[in-house]
């Protein structure tokens, strides 16, 4: 395992652990898959409404859709990702997004991420603003192929994808 810092971006990467044999020197360049994931996250954080369509393949498959939104199985769910980011931005105007851990092996990247903010904006998936700090943590396992995100497992660590108590 190699532990190396990632370059600063508009959001926070704490470190990356790349699953590959240890080698002397940790000066290897960032992989294309990690660079792609960083560029996608930067774009979504900045409010780029087209980023999900640019970075996710049109035939993208989420292996959690049947659990969290069964009616969407077999449909293009990229708009649901965009809606999630829009809801976060609107509900938590001071939000931050950080990636605490990245693990890469072949075409798979595992990301443990956190959104933190104060619920002073709009309702978040039906939950009225409380004025309280909110932390939403999740893990995503992504398969990246030919410069596009093609598969996803994981999500926020709660059944309804919200991270709040209703």
Tell me the per-residue pLDDT of 93-136, one tens digit each, with 9 for 90 and over: 999 999 888 899 999 999 998 999 999 999 998 899 999 999 99
pLDDT digits (tens, 9 = 90+) for 10-62: 444 433 433 444 444 555 678 999 999 989 989 988 889 899 999 999 999 98
Residue whose entry in the numeric block shows the structure tokens 């598969």? 151
Going along the chain from its start, the domains and CATH numbers come out as 2-20+30-156 (3.10.450.50)
CB 155 within 8 A of CB 161: yes
Report the 10 Å Cβ neighbour count for 22: 8
For residues 129 and 73, give the distance between their C-alpha atoms in angstroms, rounded to a whole number.
30
Provide the whole-model pTM. Answer: 0.76
What is the structure's pLDDT at 86? Answer: 93
CB 119 within 8 A of CB 103: no
For residues 133 and 38, give the distance between their C-alpha atoms in angstroms, rounded to a whole number.
25
CA torsion through residues 87, 90, 95, 98, sign: positive
Strands (E), 68-124: 96-105, 108-118
């Amino acid at each position: 395992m190699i532990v190396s810092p990632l370059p600063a971006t508009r959001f926070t990467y704490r470190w990356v652990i790349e699953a590959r044999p240890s080698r002397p020197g940790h000066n290897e360049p960032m992989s294309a898959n990690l660079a792609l994931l960083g560029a996608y996250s930067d774009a979504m954080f900045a409010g780029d409404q087209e980023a999900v369509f640019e970075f996710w393949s049109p035939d993208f498959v989420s292996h959690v859709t049947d659990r969290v939104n069964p009616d969407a199985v077999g449909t293009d769910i990229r708009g649901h990702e965009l809606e999630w980011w829009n809801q976060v931005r609107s509900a938590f105007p001071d939000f931050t997004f950080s990636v605490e851990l990245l693990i890469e092996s072949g075409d798979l990247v595992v990301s443990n991420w956190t959104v933190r903010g104060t619920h002073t904006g709009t309702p978040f998936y039906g939950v009225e603003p409380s004025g309280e700090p909110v932390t939403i943590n999740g893990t995503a396992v992504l398969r990246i192929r030919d410069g596009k995100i093609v598969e996803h497992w994981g999500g926020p660590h709660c059944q309804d994808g919200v991270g709040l108590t209703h």
